[in-house]
Amino acid sequence: MFRRFIKRIKAIPHKGKEPYLSFYTILGFYPDRIHLYKEAMTHRSSSIRSKKGKWVNNERLEFLGDAILDAIVADILYKQFEQKKEGFLTSTRSRIVQRETLNKIAMEMGLDKLIISSTRNLAHNTNIYGDALEALIGAIYLDQGYRVAKRFVFETLIRQHLNMDKMLKSEVDFKSRLIEWGQKNKVDVLFEVVNASYDTQNNPVFESCVMVGGMNIGSGKGYSKKESHQVAAKIAIRNLRESNLLQEQITHQKNEDSNEALDKQLGVSFQDLPGE
């Protein structure tokens, strides 16, 4: 109680001043070690040389914040879902801390306005936002400790910016989407479990790959065959969206397979047919 009172007194000269005010708006408290929060918002493209000659950016804080966020989310889920098994807890944590989710939350919080970066087009570097959010969590942990960091994650990230019920109900069925795409484009989509092992806690782990048009375009691991299929399908869909070359290769392979099938039916190769 006395320590909190002292902190409030120290914060009085900083109230209403930048950058304390901006961070207070986001955090709900005034930072004690403001340099940590400035560092958390400094992208490596705008690294600053310290008095000791070292280049300072948010990569180290991001590393720390990533680990702290994982621990906090695991802590929250473990206590909130007492009857759920490890597979559910692991999957749910992954969905909360995935880069897409963190990028979205960082934007909603307004971190994009605080990030210092020399990168010209941040729109094509959206991971910058999620990275900065993890770095911010690392700064909070170093400045205020685990309890405050946990309260920030729970009250701000989860309660204000995540609808847990909606997130748990709206799981995207990537496997079905990929199969439907294959049917529409007349391309075979096959899933195969390529490896089964056990983790350090003796839980079964499955690794699957997805073959699209005879090409392996995605693989994934999970605590069930279904989960590994979903991860592989998600990666395959992302690869298809991001690579026109991959789409062309699949189309080319499909055409070759069609020609071979027709050759077998006719008993002759197109290349053996006489010219006009």
pLDDT the model gives residue 242: 85
Q: Domain 174-270 adopts which CATH fold? A: Double Stranded RNA Binding Domain (3.30.160)
Q: What is the mean pLDDT of the chain?
A: 82
For Cα atoms 125, 146, 2, give the angle at the middle one, nearest 5 degrees. 130
- What is the arithmetic mean of pLDDT over 217-224? 88
pLDDT the model gives residue 39: 94
Q: Please give the full DSSP string across the chain, using - where no structure is assigned.
A: -HHHHHHHHHHGGGTT-TTHHHHHHHHSS--SSHHHHHHHTB-GGG-EE-TTS-EE-SHHHHHHHHHHHHHHHHHHHHHH-TT--HHHHHHHHHHHHSHHHHHHHHHHHTGGGT-B---S-GGG-THHHHHHHHHHHHHHHHHH-HHHHHHIIIIIIIIIH--HHHHHH----HHHHHHHHHHHTT--EEEEEEEEEE-TTS-EEEEEEEEETTEEEEEEEESSHHHHHHHHHHHHHHHHHH-HHHHHHHHHHHHHHHHHHHHHHHTS-GGGSPP-
Handedness of CA 133, 235, 232, 182 (dihedral sign): positive
Q: Is the pLDDT of residue 171 over 50?
A: yes
Residue intervals in the chain for CATH 1.10.1520.10: 2-169
Q: Is the pLDDT of residue 153 over 90?
A: yes
Per-residue pLDDT of 7-66, as tens digits, reads 554 554 555 577 788 899 899 999 999 999 999 999 988 888 777 778 889 999 999 999
pLDDT the model gives residue 198: 87
C-alpha 41/C-alpha 223 separation (Å) is 36
Q: How confident is the model at residue 154 (pLDDT cuts 50, 70, 90)?
A: very high
| Single pTM value for the model | 0.60
Residue intervals in the chain for CATH 3.30.160.20: 174-270
pLDDT the model gives residue 186: 86
- What is the arithmetic mean of pLDDT over 247-254? 81
Q: How confident is the model at residue 273 (pLDDT cuts 50, 70, 90)?
A: very low
Q: Is the pLDDT of residue 261 over 80?
A: no
pLDDT the model gives residue 69: 97
Q: How confident is the model at residue 170 (pLDDT cuts 50, 70, 90)?
A: low
Q: How many CB atoms lie within 10 A of CB 265?
A: 8
Lowest mean pLDDT among 163-167, 168-172, 218-222, 236-240: 168-172
- What is the arithmetic mean of pLDDT over 222-242? 88
Per-residue pLDDT of 67-96, as tens digits, reads 999 999 999 999 999 988 887 888 788 888
- Catalytic residue annotation: 66, 134
Lowest mean pLDDT among 157-161, 169-173, 263-267: 263-267
Give percent of the chain with pLDDT exceeding 70: 82
Q: How confident is the model at residue 276 (pLDDT cuts 50, 70, 90)?
A: very low
pLDDT the model gives residue 214: 87
Per-residue pLDDT of 187-211, as tens digits, reads 889 999 999 998 776 778 899 999 9
For the domain made up of 2-169, the CATH class stated in words is mainly alpha
